[in-house]
Amino acid sequence: MGTLSTPVPAERKQPGHEPSRVALVGVHGFGAHHLQNLERLQANGVVRLVAVADPNPPTPGALPPGTAVFSNLDDLLAGTPALDLVIVATPIQTHAQLALTTLPHADLYLEKPPVASLADFNRLQEAAAAAGRSVQVGFQSLGSRALQAIEELLAEGEIGTLLGISATGRWVRDRAYYKRSRWAGKRSLDGVDVVDGVATNPLAHAIATALRIAGARTVDDLASVETDLYRANDIESDDTSVIRIRTAAGLPITCALTLCAAESVEPYITLQGSEGTAVFHYTEDRLRVSSAAGNRETVYNRVDLTEDLLEHRREQRAPVTGLISPATAAPLISPLAYSGAFMQVLEAIRTAESPELIPEQYVTWEGEGDAARPVIDGIEAALERATAAHVTFSELGLPWARPTVDAERPVLSLPDGDEPGASGIETGKAAVVLATLQSGAGLAARLSPRPYLHPVRTLAGVKVTDHLPADHPWHLGAGFAFQDVNGTNFWGGKTYTRAAGRYEERQDHGHIIERSTTSGPGLLEQELSWQAPDGAELLRERRTTRSRAIDLRTWQLELRTELTAVVDSSLGGPGSNGALGSGYGGFFWRLPACAGAEVFTAEGRGEPEVHGSTSPWLAWTADFPEGPATLVFAAPAEAQDPWFVRMADYPAVASALAWDRPVDLAAGDPLVRSFTVWIVDGTLSPAEVAELTAGRVSAAG
């Protein structure tokens, strides 16, 4: 992992000093990497590998001449005096006891994770302090010189204010991976904690590196850790998970990791800044920065953690001179104490409920026998969406994920009058859930939490809304919001202001709170409060949503909103603030990814002709993942506000209430808008759409 030069740098060599006497416990698995590195260091005169311990002896010729071989650590310590350093590279569940046994005799290099519980971590810290020993933890990625470069670019503000950090890991592991040892994939073994999951072992570096970049080192540096754990393999631990962390300083860190990808990709850490991004591929020590200054990519070298520990030992034990004092010895790169934040994450995983088994219909197995490996359907997109919005798989509403606490939300179904046979309509769909009302309450502040409908489906079950997409995570299904109400952003994301003439990251996000919600067949009624970041109420809203069946393949959604200004209010958005053509604000419908999409009105076809028009209706037809569908939007009965349409950048339709000027309301004044959407299975022609909307358009006229 990473870039290490073969020769030992001159400053790391030890002229006039005897090579450090080193023992290695565990010569197989990752121990083989340590063995190779020790051979390099021994060839450079830095160390002497004096002994190894492993119940499974190394193959003949695998060790430097003169290296003693023992079957266990106790025998090694008894037979090997004056050790300087012991490296432990053994199964996770053995770390605690081996480390505690080592500390009275030598300094310690302990592979990651250091131990399998927070209690053992605390015991180990106490033992190291009592013995006066140094302990380095094997998070090799922390030795990358890219971390110093990241620290500098953040200090210089190159990507603006740091808004969040994410870690993405997409690896492939087959059945043989979990058969390589008894402890592989276990939460515990013979009553002893193991916690061998995707986040604690193979992709543990992703979490440790993200924490280090965030400045989170100790347990006290974290405010919370949430876990969302799954498995596609027949194992105890997780192979696919989201770990959401919030630091004591309030910074979100979201780690979305899987061993069930279609193909392995180098894992990476993303720094989400107000003015740019930085992406760190930690296994390659490669940093890519994108900001107003342009794009650049740099590959850095890496300090070997074994050399770092040896140099630290030498400085600590050096006599006080004019050049160096033990009191000013350089700190370790990955000391035990700095694993506290990671151990808090591990503890949350250890104590979480068992990972949920992903149903087989969402998993494709590739390969045969022990080479077979699971691929979770759509996992790459799920990881991207989770990290972009800082949400869990459950909050994304993935079909294989656990339901959220918010899952028992009101739903919209066909009203009682539209039961099979009623009004001559044989729909057979009386029990179909057509839409679910989400509260949005748990979303990050930057997404402007608010209620919305998602998923919305056709009578045949085709999903026609999306939420929390990676491109614009603040796009939330079907709903109603503005980007600017008296300077408060109820839309999410960046804010466009006339003064700046561009979108800027601002701490101006409001939230729309449900005061009350009632529901019944075909009806949802909400009383809502629009509140500024400081909690001041700006608007009150009464929102009514109805559904009714039209024919065997069509149902109609009606949404009526009545906004009342609590204080004198200006309702606007990018268009009214000077962003030509970006007049969104009001009713908004984010569609899922679809193929063959067409958008048309009675007068025009395609985004250039439809966007900004004031036609009485607009239709969107496409092939969605579950099948073809058509959505027909009628202009609000109260006013033909311009249509906002996006097709190339992302799929969305909006009725833009503040297209190029704000709507001003005096305190106590109401504003009403009523919208009708026909949701149809299959593809309608312009003539069929005109016929469908004829009654609604006539009534509105």
Instruction: Tell me the per-residue pLDDT of 453-471, one tens digit each, with 9 for 90 and over.
Output: 999 999 999 999 999 999 9
Kindly report, residue by residue over 625-640, the tens digit of the pLDDT: 999 999 999 999 899 8
Number of domains the chain is built from: 3
Residue 701 pLDDT class (50, 70, 90 cuts): very low
d(CA 311, CA 11): 9
Task: Give the pLDDT of residue 700.
Answer: 42
Q: Which of 162-176, 256-270, 326-340, 603-617 has the lowest mean pLDDT?
A: 326-340
Alpha-carbon torsion, ordered 367, 372, 375, 380, to 10 deg:
-90
The answer to the question of residue 530 being in a domain is: yes
Say if strands 356-357 and 222-231 run parallel, antiparallel, or are unpaired: parallel
Q: Which of 58-62, 74-78, 228-232 has the lowest mean pLDDT?
A: 58-62
One domain for residues 75 and 25: yes
Q: Which of 110-124, 152-166, 683-697 has the lowest mean pLDDT?
A: 683-697
Residue 317 pLDDT class (50, 70, 90 cuts): confident
Strand order in the sheet with 478-481: 411-413, 433-438, 452-456, 478-481, 586-590, 652-656, 643-646
One domain for residues 521 and 452: yes
The answer to the question of residue 221 being in a domain is: yes
One domain for residues 157 and 273: yes
Query: What does the pLDDT average to over 317-329?
Result: 55
- Pair 630, 680: CB distance under 8 Å: yes
One domain for residues 217 and 363: yes
The answer to the question of residue 631 being in a domain is: yes
Residue 33 sits at φ, ψ, to 5 deg, of -65, -45
**Residue 463 bridge partners (DSSP):** 457
Residue 687 has pLDDT above 90, yes or no: yes
Residue 202 pLDDT class (50, 70, 90 cuts): very high
| Helix intervals (H) in 214-339 | 305-317
CATH code (residue 255): 3.30.360.10
Kindly report, residue by residue over 34-50, the tens digit of the pLDDT: 999 999 999 999 999 99
One domain for residues 684 and 561: yes
One domain for residues 436 and 562: yes
Task: Give the pLDDT of residue 404.
Answer: 82
The answer to the question of residue 76 being in a domain is: yes
The answer to the question of residue 454 being in a domain is: yes
- Among the candidates 354, 383, 412, a domain finishes at 383
Tokens coding 32:
């083989």
Q: Please name the residue that has the structure tokens 């740099």.
A: 298
Mean pLDDT taken over the chain: 93
d(CA 116, CA 554): 56
Residue 522 sits at φ, ψ, to 5 deg, of 75, 15
Task: Give the pLDDT of residue 430.
Answer: 44
Residue 320 has pLDDT above 70, yes or no: no
Kindly report, residue by residue over 517-567, the tens digit of the pLDDT: 999 999 999 999 999 999 999 999 999 999 999 999 999 999 999 999 999
d(CA 411, CA 436): 4
The answer to the question of residue 388 being in a domain is: no
Residue 407 pLDDT class (50, 70, 90 cuts): low
Task: Give the pLDDT of residue 640.
Answer: 87
Closest CA relative to residue 196, chosen from 211, 210, 178: 178
d(CA 94, CA 112): 12
Residue 673 has pLDDT above 80, yes or no: yes
One domain for residues 321 and 228: no
One domain for residues 376 and 476: no
* Share of residues in the chain with pLDDT > 90 (%): 89
Other beta carbons within 10 angstroms of residue 81's beta carbon come to: 9
* Share of residues in the chain with pLDDT > 70 (%): 92
Residue 418 has pLDDT above 70, yes or no: no
- Pair 425, 549: CB distance under 8 Å: yes
The answer to the question of residue 486 being in a domain is: yes
Task: Give the pLDDT of residue 9.
Answer: 55
The answer to the question of residue 566 being in a domain is: yes
Kindly report, residue by residue over 87-100, the tens digit of the pLDDT: 999 999 999 999 99
CATH code (residue 524): 2.70.98
Say if strands 569-572 and 643-646 run parallel, antiparallel, or are unpaired: unpaired
One domain for residues 610 and 483: yes
One domain for residues 253 and 284: yes
Other beta carbons within 10 angstroms of residue 677's beta carbon come to: 20
Other beta carbons within 10 angstroms of residue 192's beta carbon come to: 15
Q: Taking the mean position of all CA atoms in its chain, how far away is CA 638?
A: 41
One domain for residues 101 and 117: yes
pTM (predicted TM-score): 0.92
CA distances (Å), 495 to each of 86, 485, 491, 563, in order?
55, 11, 9, 22
Residue 648: DSSP 8-state: S
Strand order in the sheet with 511-520: 511-520, 523-531, 537-551, 554-565, 670-681, 627-634, 617-624, 595-601
- Pair 283, 204: CB distance under 8 Å: no
Task: Give the pLDDT of residue 699.
Answer: 41
Residue 427 pLDDT class (50, 70, 90 cuts): very low
Query: What does the pLDDT average to over 317-333?
Result: 64
Q: Please name the residue that has the structure tokens 């698995």.
A: 29
Residue 279 has pLDDT above 50, yes or no: yes
Task: Give the pLDDT of residue 432.
Answer: 78
Which structural domain, as residue segments, surrounds residue 580?
404-700
CA distances (Å), 558 to each of 126, 429, 673, in order?
65, 18, 11
Q: Which H or E run includes 172?
A: strand 162-172
Residue 323 has pLDDT above 60, yes or no: no
Query: What does the pLDDT average to over 134-143?
Result: 98
Tokens coding 700:
């509105």
Task: Give the pLDDT of residue 409.
Answer: 86
Tokens coding 350:
């250890």
d(CA 408, CA 519): 12
| Helix intervals (H) in 564-640 | 607-610
Q: Please name the residue that has the structure tokens 């919600």.
A: 517
d(CA 536, CA 685): 47
One domain for residues 377 and 477: no
